[in-house]
């Protein structure tokens, strides 16, 4: 390779020019040189670069170059110029011109079909209209429309922008104008939708940036995700503990871990989920099953859902014990009609990787399933796609992308990424100080020690709130302003509290709606939906979710008083065919309203 210096680079000192050539070479061949196991030898006819690592005086340019080169494993060796004839011949070409490389498709476009949720044509039309009203883009649009008529400096600055079908593109991605409503629609679409699944900051940014671009996009995505009330409510605390890292797998579906989410409400005859994880690509399969399933049953499920797609693994990881795992492997080999492979290893260690996937699945299901948690099986296919379509922090790619095209250089790159990720995990800060709150601050309350109405804690809300802090009690406890319906002590240890995050720009999450004041001076609230039923004092009652209010503020209301809510009742009976009508007799085994948790509020409806 060869290149010409820019006007600014021509003013560099000689040793900086030599080092700049090394940096350009590493960036050009990054896919081959980054994170290599053995050092790369760099030959130069200038001695100064040999000492750049030990230099004590840096300017900002040198600091930036250090950040770039730290990703490469290399040594610099001096070689006299008379022994370097080929590089000299390239650098002395008088006819040299910098030629833009032609676009290359690393993977066929068909591999990315369905990778991201499509945005409606209406939104694209809104983007086209907003482009004309954004003065900050006038120069960019002019440069993209008529690059030949612009000064060379401006044309070079905006060379990555193009116009296509009245849309402004930056490096092939649609440029979003500075219009908050459009940005909010995109953020909601790629974070809140079913196929997105309320992913974290990095994964949400990956989904949006695949198709769209705007300045400070990362910052705004982070704010949106951090202030998402559904994520804060359902994902709970982040636990800090010493990590036990697994070995780096050799390729996709060679190292497999599996675990179970058990004791779920029965749905289609199942009450558990078999979670199977590929240690290389981080791809998962969520398989409904019974808690009483034997090793033979699990082997059959593995055969039907995993083996037919990926083949036989070389290693399995589970925390169910060696006896179960050996029975599982024997049953799998028997079903395949092959002799047992004693090279298949079992690792009797705590499987943190699969535990994390379990927590992710529970958080995904929580806001989607009905209150009785009887439809979780229906959401597993969407959950599986949402996870496998998202970029992994460890590999830097989505599982679908890795498994779709198992290129040799991709596998090597993924192995290197996993090693780097493990190094980052080792440096994780485990000595964080407990948070401090002031009166008036809003906080989430961990739900693990509070009796809840839904049948199972695993797919229930992980946190309640947000609640206002009234005062600090002692050094590590706070008094919260709880609603009367909760009927619990209002002082909690700081370990049960997390700060509530909100954002003033993206108001996409619910806020309590003020009551309507009737002509008689009474407060009326709007019914959102009915989520449960129970018997009390010889009558049926429905659990009412009010518009703009959190689940812990639900109320129990007599069914006979709710007949005016026709639309909500139709949806209620459609979602819960077994729900009783107000006039139905009450059987002896009917569910009862739990005292001390939710009570009827006056003037609510």
Q: Which residues pair with 541 in a beta bridge?
A: 534, 558
d(CA 423, CA 427): 7
Q: What percent of the chain has pLDDT over 70?
A: 73
User: Which is more confident, 111 or 219?
Assistant: 219
Q: Residue 281 in contact with residue 399, Cβ under 8 Å?
A: yes
Domains in the chain, please, with CATH?
9-91 (no CATH), 109-226 (1.10.340.70), 255-426 (3.30.420.10), 442-499 (no CATH), 510-605 (2.40.50.40)
Residues 167 and 123: beta-carbon distance below 8 Å: no
d(CA 272, CA 362): 12
Rounded mean pLDDT of 536-563?
Answer: 83
315 DSSP β-pair partners: 255, 345
pLDDT band at 351 (very low <50, low <70, confident <90, very high): low
pLDDT in tens, 470-525: 988 877 889 998 877 667 778 888 888 888 887 766 655 555 555 544 445 555 67
**DSSP-assigned letter for residue 590:** -
Q: For the chain, give the percent of residues with pLDDT over 90.
A: 7
Is the confidence at residue 119, as pLDDT, over 60?
A: no
Taking the C-alpha atoms of residue 219 and residue 198, their distance in angstroms, rounded to an integer, is: 17
pLDDT tier for residue 226 given thresholds of 50, 70 and 90: confident
- Residue 334 sits at the vertex; the CA angle it makes with 329 and 337, to the nearest 5 degrees, is 130
The pLDDT assigned to 599 comes to 39
**What is the pTM for the complete model shown?**
0.47
3-state secondary structure at position 143: helix
Residue ranges of alpha helices (H) inside 158-284 are 180-192, 201-209, 217-226, 229-235
How do 173-175 and 167-170 pair as beta strands? Answer: antiparallel
Tell me which of 55-64, 71-80, 146-155, 555-564 is least confident: 55-64
DSSP code at position 462: S
């Amino acid at each position: 390779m060869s290149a010409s210096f820019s006007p600014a680079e021509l003013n560099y000192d000689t040793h900086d020019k030599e080092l700049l050539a090394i940096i350009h070479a590493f960036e050009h061949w990054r896919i081959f040189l980054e994170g290599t196991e053995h050092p790369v030898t760099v030959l130069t006819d200038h001695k100064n670069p040999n000492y750049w690592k030990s230099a004590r005086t840096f300017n900002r340019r040198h600091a930036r170059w250090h950040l770039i080169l730290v990703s490469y494993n290399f040594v610099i060796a001096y070689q006299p110029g008379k022994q370097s004839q080929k590089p000299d011949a390239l650098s002395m070409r008088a006819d040299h011109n910098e030629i833009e490389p032609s676009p290359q498709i690393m993977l066929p476009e068909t591999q990315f079909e369905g990778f991201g949720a499509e945005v409606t044509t209406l939104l694209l039309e809104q983007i086209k209209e907003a482009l004309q009203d954004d003065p900050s883009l006038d120069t960019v649009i002019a440069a993209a429309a008529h690059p030949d008529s612009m000064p060379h400096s401006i044309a070079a600055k905006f060379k990555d922008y193009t116009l296509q079908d009245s849309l402004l593109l930056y490096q092939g991605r649609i440029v979003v104008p500075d219009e908050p409503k459009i940005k909010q629609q995109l953020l909601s679409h790629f974070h809140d939708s079913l196929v997105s699944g309320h992913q974290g900051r990095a994964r949400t940014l990956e989904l949006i940036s695949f198709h769209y671009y705007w300045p400070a996009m990362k910052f705004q995505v982070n704010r949106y995700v951090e202030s998402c009330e559904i994520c804060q409510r359902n994902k709970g605390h982040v636990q800090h503990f010493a990590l036990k890292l697994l070995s780096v797998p050799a390729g996709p579906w060679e190292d497999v871990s599996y675990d179970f989410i058990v004791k779920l409400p029965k749905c289609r005859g199942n009450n558990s989920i078999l979670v199977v994880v590929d240690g290389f690509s981080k791809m998962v399969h969520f398989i409904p099953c019974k808690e009483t399933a034997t090793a033979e049953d699990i082997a059959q499920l593995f055969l039907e859902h995993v083996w037919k797609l990926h083949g036989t693994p070389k290693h399995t990881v589970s925390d169910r014990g060696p006896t179960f795992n050996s029975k599982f492997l024997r049953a799998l080999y028997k079903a395949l009609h092959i002799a047992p492979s004693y090279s298949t290893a079992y690792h009797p260690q705590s499987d943190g990787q699969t535990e994390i996937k379990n927590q992710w699945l529970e958080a995904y299901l929580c806001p989607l399933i009905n209150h009785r948690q009887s439809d979780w099986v229906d959401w597993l296919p969407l959950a599986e796609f949402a996870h496998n379509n998202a970029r992994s922090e460890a590999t830097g790619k989505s599982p679908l992308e890795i498994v779709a095209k198992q290129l040799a250089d991709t596998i090597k790159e993924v192995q290197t990424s996993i090693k780097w990720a493990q190094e980052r995990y080792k440096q994780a800060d485990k000595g964080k100080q407990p948070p401090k709150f002031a009166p008036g601050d809003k906080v989430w309350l961990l739900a693990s020690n509070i009796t809840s109405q839904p049948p199972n804690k695993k797919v229930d809300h992980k946190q309640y709130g947000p609640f206002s802090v009234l005062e600090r009690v002692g050094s590590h406890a706070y008094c919260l302003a709880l609603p009367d319906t909760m009927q619990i002590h209002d002082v909690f240890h700081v370990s049960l509290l997390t700060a509530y995050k909100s954002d003033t720009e993206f108001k996409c999450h619910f806020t309590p709606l003020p009551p309507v004041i009737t002509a008689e001076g009474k407060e009326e609230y709007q019914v959102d939906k009915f989520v449960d039923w129970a018997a009390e004092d010889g009558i049926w009652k429905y659990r009412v979710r009010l518009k703009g209010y959190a689940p812990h503020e639900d109320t129990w209301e007599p069914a006979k008083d709710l007949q005016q809510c026709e639309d909500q009742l139709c949806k209620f009976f459609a979602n819960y065919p077994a729900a009783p009508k107000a006039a139905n007799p009450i059987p002896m085994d009917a569910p009862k309203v739990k005292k001390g948790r939710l009570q009827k509020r006056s003037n609510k409806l």
